[in-house]
Amino acid sequence: MPIGTTGAPDPRMAPPARPGRQEHGGGQRARQLSFVRRAFRLRVLGLGVGSLCVASVLYLQGAPPAWWIALAANAFAWPHLARVLAGRHADPGKAEIWNLMADSAMGGAWIAVMRFNLLPSVLLATMLSVDKISVGGTPILARSSVLLVAACALTSAALGFPVELATPMPVVVACLPLLVAYPLAISGALHSLRSRVARKNKVLVELGRTDHLTGLANRRLGLEMVESELSRVRRSGKPSALMMIDVDHFKSINDRHGHPVGDEVLRAMAAILVECCRAVDTPCRYGGDEFLVVLPETRVQGAAVLAERIRQRFSAFACEAAPGLRCTASLGAAEASAQMEGPGAWIQGADAALYRAKAAGRDRFVA
């Protein structure tokens, strides 16, 4: 009586990696082995409680010892054997699918051995269908159902097609653990999977809004914040400033000292922005060596104070990989107004101020 799978769809069961993709293949195998482990745990549970159903029918039938030995092997040996077979296979995910097919075939055989006793037979067939749907949907269900029906028909033919549909109360009672425990286990596995997927989706969303080099908000999130802040200004009438920052002569830094030093300079600017800005401010990497900072409820005078603090700390930055390198930055800011056509106009105003700072000799703030 073979019930027991992951009880949850597992997108990690993918085909083997192609040669030359060792890192990807290694990670893929680890994910497939994780699937095999979850399958083992639920297979142990399913077989443990499911064997009670079959055992209750065998007892009422006065079954010979051979059937009891087969049931014990199926219930207690098969889960471990299935885990070993899948774990040693070159493609654990594919091997586990074969194990699922074997589960269905053995389930069909036990239905015939029970002479189609109505409640346990329907319960086994249903549970076997539920876990196949949860793992692979209709394709897996169709293949496993064919094996279940074929094994049931062949076993029944070998036994002379015996049929005893009546389900006595002792058998009903023996079916209750499977009826209760296994669906709960599947639900738990599904909940666990949904939680993992939700966490990963959250990470992906964060990665899509974060600059990988500096850890700041990326351009996309920065533009969203500019638009959101401008809408707030229009609603409340409160002031807000937008600051643009450019690392002076950044191309020369890259050309003279190399891109690793350039990356270190950008990370230093990002760290200074995080340190100097308030919790309500939003610094982001706008692109290349340009940074943008949204400053809610701040006028250009406040932006000037912040800009001077940023400029001084950046000038004091010392790069270990490039001794003697002195970095400076140009900064420009524009205050929002309710009459602005949109966020693009606000950004253009800050960018124009930044351009004036660079034209005036760099290493300064202009509003």
Q: Which residues are catalytic?
A: 289
Spatial neighbors of 81 by CB under 8 A, at least 6 apart, are: none
Name the nearest CA neighbour of 127 among 47, 35, 9, 60. Answer: 47
**Residue whose pair of structure tokens reads 């029918």 in the numeric block:** 57
Rounded Cα distance, 100 and 137, in Å: 13
Rounded Cα distance, 190 and 17, in Å: 27
Name the nearest CA neighbour of 326 among 235, 213, 249, 232. Answer: 249
Length of the chain: 367
User: How far out from the chain centre does Cα 136 lie?
Assistant: 18
User: How far out from the chain centre does Cα 108 lie?
Assistant: 36
**Residue whose pair of structure tokens reads 């094994």 in the numeric block:** 151
Spatial neighbors of 132 by CB under 8 A, at least 6 apart, are: 5, 100, 104, 140, 141, 144, 145
Q: Are 290 and 246 in contact (CB under 8 A)?
A: yes
With H, G, I as helix, E, B as strand and everything else as coil, classify residue 202: helix
Rounded Cα distance, 291 and 283, in Å: 7
289: burial class by Cβ within 10 Å (0-12, 13-18, 19+)?
A: buried
b/e code 148-179 from CB counts within 10 Å (16+ = b): beebbeebbeeeeeeeeeebeeebeebbebbb
List alpha helices for the chain, DSSP H.
Answer: 22-61, 65-72, 78-88, 92-113, 118-159, 169-208, 219-236, 250-257, 259-276, 300-315, 343-359
